[in-house]
A and B are shown apart, each in its own frame.
Chain A
Amino acid sequence: MPDGRPVGFREAARIVAGFGLPAGPDPEPMVVAKNEWQTFVARVWGEKLTGLAIAASHGGALPLSDERAETLLERHRRAMAWCLRVEERLLTLDDRFSDAGIEYAVLKGPTIAHTAYPDPSLRGFGDLDVLVRGRDFKAACSTLRQMGFGRIVPEPRRGFDERFGKAATHRHDGDSMEIDLHRTLVLGPFGLWIKPEVLLDRAVPFGLGDRQIPRLDDTGMLLNVAMHASLGWPPGLAPLRDVLQVSSAMAVDWAVLRSWAEAWRLSAVLHHAFATAESVLGAKATVDSRIFSDSRHRRSESRALRTYLGERHAVGGTALSTLRAIPGLRDKAAYMEALAFPQQEFMRGRYSKRSYGRRLLTPARWGLQRLLDRRHPQQQVRFTPRGD
């Protein structure tokens, strides 16, 4: 067994996630404890970090026995083979969306792998995320159906997607590949405050095989990965790496990003994303990112951010903050009605037993949980990687 500092699987995964960052520490060789190796492999596989683990191994940070190296390589081969299948599906989607006149941009996944990382094999991904305009959402759902993708959970009420929705996950009938069709970047108030059409107006192409596929421009990409890292659930290591990778490797227009942050109430989110990435990965973010720690965050931003993090997320925090963010009583009422009395297709997709009673009890369950939490207060703003 090679020599190195003994580490557990969590610490090893975090070091791997930060490996090779320009302003990262120079990690000393580490060896994952024998009884944690399989868990480590599962973690880097699940977090799409097999490429960085291989790089860390080649770079001396993760010396491996032949047996362990082969285990990791085998996982990495499988992960990369799946990435190719996802990209192949993306090319088909591009054909179909073009034929249907649907304007779109690919988010995260392949775009980051091909543009922000020095080699696309360093960034794995498992599905596709595409952003379309609200007016094209229905046509895009229909096109995905023609491609063999079925929507997992229907919209709660007709028109909900275009007014309040974030995305609809579609799964392929054959290989179970998923495509998240986005109308905005995140669920909840921040998704309502941003203007996705501005991001789509600035879309640029990236090369995939012999084709040019639309993606967000570098500034939009950073906004997207930062929102995902800060607000996505469950929190992950790869999105945090993306924040530092994209901000250091891409031509971000920081003045534009700052203007978006002010207009769309995202300063607290961007500050949280950079601070969390630095803290978890132990690497410094580019100095440009300090504009978000220096700026004053509005109370509404900080309050909304707290509802995405920690325990409040699980007890209706995002739904309630969305309600606050929706302008106008009529729209607020429509949102509440859709969630309280969704259509039957939604209930069938969401719950094994179609029960409006269970649905209506959800706010009561949230209230009870909050009462219990108040008796046992826990830290509200924190980072807990998946599975910890």
Chain B
Amino acid sequence: MRVVYGRADQVLHRNTGPDVVAMLPGEGDVHLLSGPAAVVWELLSEEAALDGLIHAMADLYDRPAEEIAASVETCLNDLASRRLVEMHRA
């Protein structure tokens, strides 16, 4: 069994050029996702496993996967702490 990440179903969001604004209804805060966080959000239009996201980001930014792995995981954890992203066991 592996862990996959996906956008929380109830999140409201919009693209704003290179960035994304997103909010969880009832929470009050509108979050601005920019740079790599916006790219991760875009990749999460479909559920993805951590290693898949790391490799996709490595390809997009032309960096070795091991160099960016920690940053991608931190970004995911941050999005999850804001309840914009959810983890599922697939």
Spell out A's residues near B (CB within 8 Å).
54, 58, 73, 76-77, 80-81, 83-85, 87-88, 91-92, 119-121, 208-211
Contact = CB atoms under 8 A, between A and B. Distances in A.
A114 B9 CA distance: 15
A121 B18 CA distance: 12
A58 B19 CA distance: 14
Interface in B22-67: 22-23, 25-26, 30, 32
B14 A209 contact: no
Contact of B14 (A58, A84, A88, A210): A84
Contacts of B32: 77, 81
Contacts of A121: 14-16
B19 A88 contact: no
Nearest to A124: B14
Nearest to B26: A88
Q: Is the interface of A mostly helix, strand, loop or mixed?
A: helix
Contacts of B12: 84, 87-88, 208-209
B16 A77 contact: yes
A81 B19 CA distance: 12
* Contact size range, B: 10 to 19
Given A81-B30, A87-B25, 12 more contacts: A54-B17, A58-B17, A77-B21, A80-B14, A80-B15, A80-B16, A84-B14, A84-B30, A88-B12, A121-B14, A209-B9, A209-B12
15 contacts: A54-B17, A73-B17, A80-B14, A80-B21, A81-B23, A85-B30, A87-B12, A87-B25, A88-B23, A92-B25, A121-B15, A121-B16, A208-B12, A209-B10, A211-B10
B11 interface: yes
B82 interface: no
Contacts of B26: 88
A88 B9 CA distance: 14
Given A77-B32, A209-B11, A210-B9, A88 B16 contact: no
Q: Closest 7 CB pairs between A and B?
A: A210-B9, A80-B14, A209-B10, A81-B30, A121-B14, A210-B10, A77-B16
B21 A81 contact: yes
